[in-house]
Protein backbone atom coordinates (compact mmCIF):
# COMPACT_ATOMS: atom_id res chain seq x y z
CA UNK A 1 0.00 0.00 0.00
CA UNK A 2 1.46 3.36 -1.01
CA UNK A 3 1.49 6.32 1.36
CA UNK A 4 -1.24 7.99 -0.70
CA UNK A 5 -3.48 4.92 -0.31
CA UNK A 6 -2.86 4.51 3.43
CA UNK A 7 -5.49 5.78 5.87
CA UNK A 8 -4.60 9.19 7.26
CA UNK A 9 -4.51 9.31 11.06
CA UNK A 10 -7.18 11.61 12.47
CA UNK A 11 -9.10 11.86 9.19
CA UNK A 12 -12.84 11.12 9.11
CA UNK A 13 -14.03 7.71 7.97
CA UNK A 14 -14.36 7.31 4.22
CA UNK A 15 -18.16 7.14 4.27
CA UNK A 16 -21.19 9.28 3.47
CA UNK A 17 -24.26 8.15 5.43
CA UNK A 18 -27.98 8.91 5.55
CA UNK A 19 -30.23 9.45 8.55
CA UNK A 20 -33.70 8.11 9.27
CA UNK A 21 -36.01 11.09 9.58
CA UNK A 22 -36.58 14.82 9.86
CA UNK A 23 -34.37 15.25 12.91
CA UNK A 24 -31.61 13.30 14.59
CA UNK A 25 -32.45 11.03 17.50
CA UNK A 26 -30.10 10.92 20.47
CA UNK A 27 -29.08 7.43 19.38
CA UNK A 28 -28.24 8.57 15.84
CA UNK A 29 -26.28 11.51 17.16
CA UNK A 30 -24.17 9.21 19.34
CA UNK A 31 -23.65 6.76 16.48
CA UNK A 32 -22.49 9.45 14.08
CA UNK A 33 -20.20 10.93 16.74
CA UNK A 34 -18.47 7.59 17.23
CA UNK A 35 -18.52 6.52 13.57
CA UNK A 36 -17.18 9.90 12.36
CA UNK A 37 -18.23 9.63 8.68
CA UNK A 38 -16.90 12.17 6.21
CA UNK A 39 -20.41 13.49 5.59
CA UNK A 40 -24.08 12.85 4.99
CA UNK A 41 -26.75 12.61 2.30
CA UNK A 42 -30.36 13.79 2.52
CA UNK A 43 -33.43 12.17 0.95
CA UNK A 44 -37.12 12.98 0.76
CA UNK A 45 -37.69 11.39 4.18
CA UNK A 46 -35.38 14.04 5.65
CA UNK A 47 -37.11 17.05 4.10
CA UNK A 48 -40.18 18.99 5.25
CA UNK A 49 -39.54 22.73 5.06
CA UNK A 50 -36.50 25.03 4.93
CA UNK A 51 -36.02 25.75 8.64
CA UNK A 52 -36.24 22.04 9.47
CA UNK A 53 -33.67 21.14 6.79
CA UNK A 54 -31.28 23.84 8.02
CA UNK A 55 -31.60 22.49 11.57
CA UNK A 56 -31.01 18.91 10.42
CA UNK A 57 -27.93 19.88 8.40
CA UNK A 58 -26.53 21.75 11.42
CA UNK A 59 -27.26 18.78 13.70
CA UNK A 60 -25.48 16.36 11.37
CA UNK A 61 -22.37 18.51 11.29
CA UNK A 62 -22.52 19.06 15.04
CA UNK A 63 -22.67 15.29 15.59
CA UNK A 64 -19.26 14.81 13.93
CA UNK A 65 -17.82 18.10 15.19
CA UNK A 66 -16.95 19.44 11.74
CA UNK A 67 -18.71 22.54 10.44
CA UNK A 68 -17.50 21.78 6.91
CA UNK A 69 -18.60 18.12 6.75
CA UNK A 70 -20.03 17.60 3.23
CA UNK A 71 -23.81 17.30 3.04
CA UNK A 72 -25.11 15.84 -0.23
CA UNK A 73 -28.46 15.64 -1.96
CA UNK A 74 -29.86 14.31 -5.26
CA UNK A 75 -31.40 17.43 -6.77
CA UNK A 76 -31.29 16.97 -10.54
CA UNK A 77 -34.60 18.44 -11.62
CA UNK A 78 -37.34 16.46 -13.31
CA UNK A 79 -38.25 13.20 -11.57
CA UNK A 80 -35.17 13.15 -9.33
CA UNK A 81 -35.76 15.90 -6.78
CA UNK A 82 -35.66 15.69 -3.00
CA UNK A 83 -36.64 19.34 -2.55
CA UNK A 84 -40.12 19.86 -3.98
CA UNK A 85 -42.90 22.47 -4.16
CA UNK A 86 -44.40 24.25 -2.32
CA UNK A 87 -41.21 25.14 -0.44
CA UNK A 88 -38.82 24.78 -3.39
CA UNK A 89 -39.29 25.25 -7.14
CA UNK A 90 -39.62 22.38 -9.59
CA UNK A 91 -36.85 22.34 -12.19
CA UNK A 92 -36.92 20.83 -15.69
CA UNK A 93 -35.50 17.41 -16.49
CA UNK A 94 -32.22 17.22 -18.39
CA UNK A 95 -33.90 15.89 -21.52
CA UNK A 96 -36.38 18.79 -21.60
CA UNK A 97 -33.60 21.37 -21.54
CA UNK A 98 -31.63 19.42 -24.13
CA UNK A 99 -34.51 19.81 -26.59
CA UNK A 100 -33.59 23.49 -26.95
CA UNK A 101 -31.07 24.64 -29.58
CA UNK A 102 -27.44 24.30 -28.52
CA UNK A 103 -26.79 27.73 -26.96
CA UNK A 104 -30.22 28.00 -25.38
CA UNK A 105 -29.91 24.48 -23.95
CA UNK A 106 -26.56 25.30 -22.34
CA UNK A 107 -27.97 28.51 -20.88
CA UNK A 108 -31.02 26.70 -19.50
CA UNK A 109 -28.92 23.95 -17.94
CA UNK A 110 -26.54 26.43 -16.35
CA UNK A 111 -29.40 28.60 -15.03
CA UNK A 112 -31.26 25.60 -13.63
CA UNK A 113 -28.13 24.43 -11.83
CA UNK A 114 -27.39 27.93 -10.56
CA UNK A 115 -30.92 28.23 -9.16
CA UNK A 116 -30.65 24.79 -7.56
CA UNK A 117 -27.37 25.91 -6.01
CA UNK A 118 -29.16 28.89 -4.46
CA UNK A 119 -31.71 26.53 -2.89
CA UNK A 120 -28.97 24.26 -1.53
CA UNK A 121 -26.67 27.04 -0.32
CA UNK A 122 -29.55 28.51 1.67
CA UNK A 123 -29.94 25.17 3.46
CA UNK A 124 -26.24 24.55 4.08
CA UNK A 125 -26.09 21.67 1.57
CA UNK A 126 -22.71 21.72 -0.16
CA UNK A 127 -22.71 18.89 -2.74
CA UNK A 128 -25.28 17.99 -5.41
CA UNK A 129 -25.38 14.62 -7.18
CA UNK A 130 -25.62 16.35 -10.57
CA UNK A 131 -24.97 16.19 -13.53
CA UNK A 132 -25.87 12.83 -15.10
CA UNK A 133 -23.33 12.24 -17.88
CA UNK A 134 -24.79 8.89 -18.91
CA UNK A 135 -25.86 8.65 -22.53
CA UNK A 136 -29.43 7.91 -23.50
CA UNK A 137 -29.31 4.55 -25.30
CA UNK A 138 -32.20 2.98 -27.19
CA UNK A 139 -33.49 -0.18 -25.55
CA UNK A 140 -31.81 0.47 -22.20
CA UNK A 141 -33.62 0.44 -18.87
CA UNK A 142 -35.61 3.62 -18.15
CA UNK A 143 -33.68 4.40 -14.94
CA UNK A 144 -31.61 6.97 -16.86
CA UNK A 145 -34.10 8.04 -19.54
CA UNK A 146 -34.93 11.74 -19.33
CA UNK A 147 -32.21 12.29 -16.73
CA UNK A 148 -29.74 12.19 -19.64
CA UNK A 149 -28.85 15.13 -21.86
CA UNK A 150 -29.01 12.87 -24.92
CA UNK A 151 -27.20 10.41 -27.17
CA UNK A 152 -24.27 12.49 -28.41
CA UNK A 153 -21.23 12.33 -26.10
CA UNK A 154 -19.94 15.81 -26.95
CA UNK A 155 -23.33 17.43 -26.42
CA UNK A 156 -23.84 15.53 -23.17
CA UNK A 157 -20.43 16.74 -22.00
CA UNK A 158 -21.15 20.34 -23.00
CA UNK A 159 -24.44 20.40 -21.12
CA UNK A 160 -22.93 18.55 -18.18
CA UNK A 161 -20.22 21.20 -18.02
CA UNK A 162 -22.89 23.92 -18.01
CA UNK A 163 -24.55 22.22 -15.03
CA UNK A 164 -21.22 21.98 -13.19
CA UNK A 165 -20.49 25.63 -13.86
CA UNK A 166 -23.91 26.66 -12.56
CA UNK A 167 -23.47 24.70 -9.33
CA UNK A 168 -19.92 25.91 -8.75
CA UNK A 169 -20.97 29.53 -9.31
CA UNK A 170 -23.45 28.98 -6.49
CA UNK A 171 -20.83 27.55 -4.13
CA UNK A 172 -22.03 23.93 -4.49
CA UNK A 173 -19.88 21.01 -5.67
CA UNK A 174 -21.15 18.88 -8.57
CA UNK A 175 -20.85 15.09 -8.76
CA UNK A 176 -20.56 13.71 -12.29
CA UNK A 177 -22.31 10.36 -12.51
CA UNK A 178 -22.38 7.45 -13.08
CA UNK A 179 -18.75 6.97 -14.10
CA UNK A 180 -17.72 5.35 -16.47
CA UNK A 181 -21.27 5.31 -17.90
CA UNK A 182 -24.67 3.85 -16.94
CA UNK A 183 -26.54 4.50 -20.18
CA UNK A 184 -26.32 0.98 -21.65
CA UNK A 185 -27.68 -0.79 -18.56
CA UNK A 186 -30.55 -3.06 -19.53
CA UNK A 187 -31.73 -3.42 -15.92
CA UNK A 188 -32.03 -1.00 -13.01
CA UNK A 189 -29.04 -1.36 -10.68
CA UNK A 190 -31.28 -0.52 -7.73
CA UNK A 191 -32.74 -4.01 -8.16
CA UNK A 192 -30.24 -6.20 -10.05
CA UNK A 193 -26.75 -6.15 -11.52
CA UNK A 194 -26.49 -4.81 -15.09
CA UNK A 195 -23.93 -6.33 -17.42
CA UNK A 196 -22.63 -4.45 -20.47
CA UNK A 197 -21.02 -6.58 -23.18
CA UNK A 198 -20.07 -3.67 -25.48
CA UNK A 199 -16.48 -3.78 -26.71
CA UNK A 200 -13.85 -1.53 -25.12
CA UNK A 201 -13.26 0.63 -28.21
CA UNK A 202 -16.95 1.51 -28.48
CA UNK A 203 -17.15 2.30 -24.76
CA UNK A 204 -14.15 4.59 -25.07
CA UNK A 205 -15.75 6.50 -27.96
CA UNK A 206 -19.22 6.77 -26.44
CA UNK A 207 -20.01 6.09 -22.77
CA UNK A 208 -16.60 7.09 -21.41
CA UNK A 209 -16.26 10.22 -23.57
CA UNK A 210 -18.41 12.69 -21.56
CA UNK A 211 -16.54 11.77 -18.39
CA UNK A 212 -13.20 12.22 -20.13
CA UNK A 213 -14.24 15.69 -21.27
CA UNK A 214 -15.19 16.58 -17.68
CA UNK A 215 -12.35 14.72 -15.98
CA UNK A 216 -11.31 17.85 -14.09
CA UNK A 217 -14.50 17.99 -12.01
CA UNK A 218 -14.10 17.59 -8.25
CA UNK A 219 -16.31 14.55 -7.48
CA UNK A 220 -17.62 11.56 -9.43
CA UNK A 221 -20.00 8.70 -8.54
CA UNK A 222 -19.44 5.16 -9.75
CA UNK A 223 -21.80 2.86 -11.64
CA UNK A 224 -22.79 -0.54 -10.20
CA UNK A 225 -22.33 -2.12 -13.65
CA UNK A 226 -20.17 -4.96 -14.97
CA UNK A 227 -18.23 -3.88 -18.06
CA UNK A 228 -17.31 -7.27 -19.49
CA UNK A 229 -14.62 -5.87 -21.78
CA UNK A 230 -12.63 -4.76 -18.70
CA UNK A 231 -13.72 -6.94 -15.77
CA UNK A 232 -16.27 -9.69 -16.38
CA UNK A 233 -16.65 -10.50 -12.68
CA UNK A 234 -17.02 -7.27 -10.71
CA UNK A 235 -19.09 -4.11 -11.16
CA UNK A 236 -17.17 -0.87 -11.59
CA UNK A 237 -17.67 0.14 -7.96
CA UNK A 238 -15.80 -2.97 -6.79
CA UNK A 239 -13.40 -3.41 -9.70
CA UNK A 240 -9.78 -2.34 -9.37
CA UNK A 241 -9.43 -2.89 -13.12
CA UNK A 242 -12.28 -0.55 -14.07
CA UNK A 243 -11.21 2.10 -11.58
CA UNK A 244 -7.52 2.05 -12.50
CA UNK A 245 -7.72 1.36 -16.24
CA UNK A 246 -10.91 3.16 -17.22
CA UNK A 247 -11.71 5.82 -14.60
CA UNK A 248 -8.27 6.95 -13.45
CA UNK A 249 -6.16 6.22 -16.56
CA UNK A 250 -8.27 6.31 -19.74
CA UNK A 251 -10.82 8.88 -18.57
CA UNK A 252 -8.22 10.72 -16.50
CA UNK A 253 -10.44 11.48 -13.52
CA UNK A 254 -8.40 12.42 -10.44
CA UNK A 255 -11.13 13.87 -8.27
CA UNK A 256 -12.88 12.31 -5.27
CA UNK A 257 -14.43 8.99 -6.32
CA UNK A 258 -17.64 8.14 -4.46
CA UNK A 259 -19.53 4.87 -4.78
CA UNK A 260 -23.16 4.78 -5.75
CA UNK A 261 -25.38 3.63 -2.87
CA UNK A 262 -24.05 0.43 -1.28
CA UNK A 263 -27.59 -0.67 -0.39
CA UNK A 264 -28.57 -1.10 -4.05
CA UNK A 265 -29.27 -4.72 -4.97
CA UNK A 266 -26.73 -4.75 -7.80
CA UNK A 267 -24.16 -5.44 -5.08
CA UNK A 268 -23.87 -8.60 -3.00
CA UNK A 269 -22.16 -9.58 0.24
CA UNK A 270 -22.40 -8.01 3.66
CA UNK A 271 -22.29 -4.24 3.91
CA UNK A 272 -18.89 -4.44 5.57
CA UNK A 273 -17.64 -6.47 2.59
CA UNK A 274 -19.15 -4.04 0.09
CA UNK A 275 -17.50 -1.08 1.79
CA UNK A 276 -14.16 -2.84 2.20
CA UNK A 277 -14.13 -4.09 -1.39
CA UNK A 278 -15.06 -0.69 -2.86
CA UNK A 279 -12.26 1.07 -1.00
CA UNK A 280 -9.78 -1.68 -1.84
CA UNK A 281 -10.73 -1.34 -5.53
CA UNK A 282 -9.84 2.35 -5.50
CA UNK A 283 -12.94 4.30 -4.50
CA UNK A 284 -12.16 7.14 -2.10
CA UNK A 285 -15.47 7.20 -0.21
CA UNK A 286 -18.42 4.82 0.14
CA UNK A 287 -22.05 5.97 0.11
CA UNK A 288 -24.89 4.42 2.10
CA UNK A 289 -28.21 6.16 1.76
CA UNK A 290 -31.19 4.54 3.50
CA UNK A 291 -30.42 5.45 7.11
CA UNK A 292 -30.76 1.85 8.32
CA UNK A 293 -28.74 1.69 11.53
CA UNK A 294 -27.78 -1.99 11.34
CA UNK A 295 -26.56 -1.59 7.76
CA UNK A 296 -24.63 1.58 8.60
CA UNK A 297 -22.88 -0.17 11.49
CA UNK A 298 -21.66 -2.80 9.02
CA UNK A 299 -20.56 -0.11 6.56
CA UNK A 300 -18.50 1.58 9.25
CA UNK A 301 -17.02 -1.79 10.22
CA UNK A 302 -15.67 -2.10 6.68
CA UNK A 303 -14.56 1.51 6.29
CA UNK A 304 -11.24 2.99 7.31
CA UNK A 305 -10.15 6.59 7.56
CA UNK A 306 -9.81 8.69 4.41
CA UNK A 307 -6.55 7.97 2.61
CA UNK A 308 -4.02 10.74 2.05
CA UNK A 309 -4.82 10.94 -1.68
CA UNK A 310 -8.53 11.20 -0.90
CA UNK A 311 -7.89 14.05 1.54
CA UNK A 312 -5.98 15.91 -1.19
CA UNK A 313 -8.86 15.39 -3.64
CA UNK A 314 -11.38 16.49 -1.03
CA UNK A 315 -9.39 19.64 -0.26
CA UNK A 316 -9.21 20.58 -3.96
CA UNK A 317 -12.98 20.37 -4.20
CA UNK A 318 -13.53 22.35 -1.04
CA UNK A 319 -11.30 25.12 -2.37
CA UNK A 320 -13.39 25.26 -5.55
CA UNK A 321 -16.58 25.45 -3.51
CA UNK A 322 -15.36 28.18 -1.20
CA UNK A 323 -13.89 30.32 -3.96
CA UNK A 324 -16.45 29.71 -6.69
CA UNK A 325 -19.58 31.48 -5.44
CA UNK A 326 -20.52 34.55 -7.49
CA UNK A 327 -23.28 37.18 -7.17
CA UNK A 328 -26.57 36.17 -8.75
CA UNK A 329 -29.98 37.79 -9.20
CA UNK A 330 -32.34 34.92 -8.51
CA UNK A 331 -35.46 36.72 -9.76
CA UNK A 332 -33.88 37.55 -13.11
CA UNK A 333 -32.39 34.07 -13.46
CA UNK A 334 -35.68 32.34 -12.71
CA UNK A 335 -37.57 34.50 -15.20
CA UNK A 336 -34.97 33.79 -17.88
CA UNK A 337 -35.18 30.03 -17.30
CA UNK A 338 -38.97 30.14 -17.58
CA UNK A 339 -38.65 32.10 -20.83
CA UNK A 340 -36.23 29.55 -22.28
CA UNK A 341 -38.36 26.55 -21.28
CA UNK A 342 -41.45 28.15 -22.83
CA UNK A 343 -39.76 27.57 -26.19
CA UNK A 344 -39.66 23.77 -25.82
Q: Which residues are catalytically annotated?
A: 190, 260
d(C-alpha 154, C-alpha 206), whole Å:
9
| Helical pair 102-123 and 330-341, crossing angle rounded to 10 deg | 140
Nearest to 134 by CA among 44, 71, 81, 194: 194
Max Cα distance, the chain (Å)? 55
- For residue 221, the SS3 value is strand
d(C-alpha 332, C-alpha 308), whole Å:
43
Q: Which residues, 6 or more positions from 236, have their beta carbon under 8 angstroms from its beta carbon?
A: 179, 180, 222, 223, 224, 225, 226, 227, 242, 243, 246, 247
| 287 bridge partner residues | 16, 261
Q: How would DSSP label each residue in 147-207?
A: GS--S-HHHHHHHHHHHHHHHHHTT-EEEEEEET--TT-SS-TTTS--EE---HHHHHHTT
- For residue 15, the SS3 value is strand
d(C-alpha 133, C-alpha 116), whole Å:
18
Q: Which residues, 6 or more positions from 329, have their beta carbon under 8 angstroms from its beta carbon?
A: none
Burial 30-68 (b: 16+ CB within 10 A, else e): ebbeebbbbbbbbeeebbeeeeebeebbebbbebbeeee
Amino acid sequence: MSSSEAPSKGAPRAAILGCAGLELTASERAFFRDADPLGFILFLRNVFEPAQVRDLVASLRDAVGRSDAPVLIDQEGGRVARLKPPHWPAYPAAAAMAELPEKAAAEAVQLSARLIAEDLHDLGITVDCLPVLDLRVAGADAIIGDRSYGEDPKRVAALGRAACEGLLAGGVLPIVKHIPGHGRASVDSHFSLPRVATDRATLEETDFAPFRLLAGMPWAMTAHIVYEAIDSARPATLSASVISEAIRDSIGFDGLLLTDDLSMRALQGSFAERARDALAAGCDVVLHCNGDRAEMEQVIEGTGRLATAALVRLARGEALRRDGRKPFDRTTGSARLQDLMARV
